[in-house]
Chains A and B, each alone.
Chain A
Amino acid sequence: MKLKTFTGGIHPPDNKQWSSHKAIEDCPLPAEFVVPLAQHIGAPSVACVEVGQRVARGQEIGSAKGFVSVPMHAPTSGEVIAVENRPHPWGTSLPAVVIRPDGEDRWSTELQPADPSELTPDEIVERVRLAGVVGMGGAAFPAHVKMSPPPEKQIHTLIFNGIECEPYLTADHRMMLEEPERILQGVALLQYVLGAERVVIGIEANKPDAIALLKKHCLETPVEVMSLEVKYPQGAEKQLIAAVTGLEVPSGGLPMDIGVAVHNVSTAAAITDAVLHGRPLIERVCTVTGPAIREPKNLRIRIGTPLSHLVEVCGGLIEAPGKIILGGPMMGFTQLGFDVPATRGTSGLLLLRTEDVALHAESPCIRCARCVQACPIKLLPTTIAAYARRDLLAETAEYCVMDCIECGSCSYVCPATIPLVQAIRYGKAAILAKKRSSQI
Chain B
Amino acid sequence: MSQQLYLSSSPHIHSGETTSKVMHAVIYSLLPACGVAVYFFGPSALSVLLIATLGCLATEVVCQRLMGQPVTIADGSAAITGILLALNLPPSSPWWLTLLGAVIAIAIGKQVYGGLGSNPFNPALVARVVLLISFPVQMTTWSAPAPLGSGLDLVTTATPLGAWKNAVMLTGQMPSDLPGSTADYFLGNMPGCIGEVSALALLLGAAYLFYRRILTWHIPTAFIGTVILLSGLFWLIDPAKYPNPVFHLVTGGLILGAFYMATDMVTTPVSTRGMLLFGVGCGLLTVLIRLFGGYPEGVSFAILLMNAATPLIDRYTRPKTFGTPGQEVVR
Contacts and interface: CB of A to CB of B under 8 A. Distances in A.
Interface of A: 10, 12, 167, 238, 242, 248-253, 320-325, 329-337, 350, 352, 354, 356-358, 360, 363-370, 372-373, 376-380, 382-383, 395, 398-400, 403, 406, 408, 411-417, 419, 421-422, 425
B11 interface: yes
A372 to B, nearest CB: 5
Given A358-B13, A412-B11, A364 B118 contact: yes
Interface string B82-99: 000000000000000000
B10 A333 contact: yes
A324 B7 CA distance: 8
Interface in B89-130: 115-118
Closest 6 CB pairs of A and B: A408-B11, A364-B117, A422-B9, A358-B14, A369-B270, A378-B319
A136 to B, nearest CB: 19
A412 B4 contact: no
Given A320-B1, A415-B17, A366 B320 contact: no
Contacts of A366: 19, 22, 77, 116-117, 265-266
B303 to A, nearest CB: 15
B270 A412 contact: no
A357 B6 contact: yes
B75 A368 contact: no
A360 B330 contact: no
B2 interface: yes
A336 B10 contact: no
B7 A336 contact: yes
Contacts of A403: 321-324
B318 interface: yes
A366 to B, nearest CB: 5
B321 A417 contact: no
A369 B265 contact: yes
Interface string B289-331: 0000000000000000000000000000011111110010010
B10 A332 contact: yes
Given A320-B4, A364-B117, A372 B270 contact: yes
Given A382-B270, A412-B15, A413-B15, A251 B330 contact: no
Interface residues of B, number: 46
B5 interface: yes
A253 B325 CA distance: 13
Contact of A250 (B10, B11, B17, B323): B323
A398 to B, nearest CB: 5
A397 B298 CA distance: 41
B18 interface: yes
B22 to A, nearest CB: 5
B8 interface: yes
Given A324-B5, A358-B13, A412-B11, A363 B319 contact: no
B18 A415 contact: yes
Contacts of B221: none
A227 B11 CA distance: 26
B231 interface: no
Nearest to A317: B1
A179 B307 CA distance: 58
B1 A412 contact: no
B265 A368 contact: yes
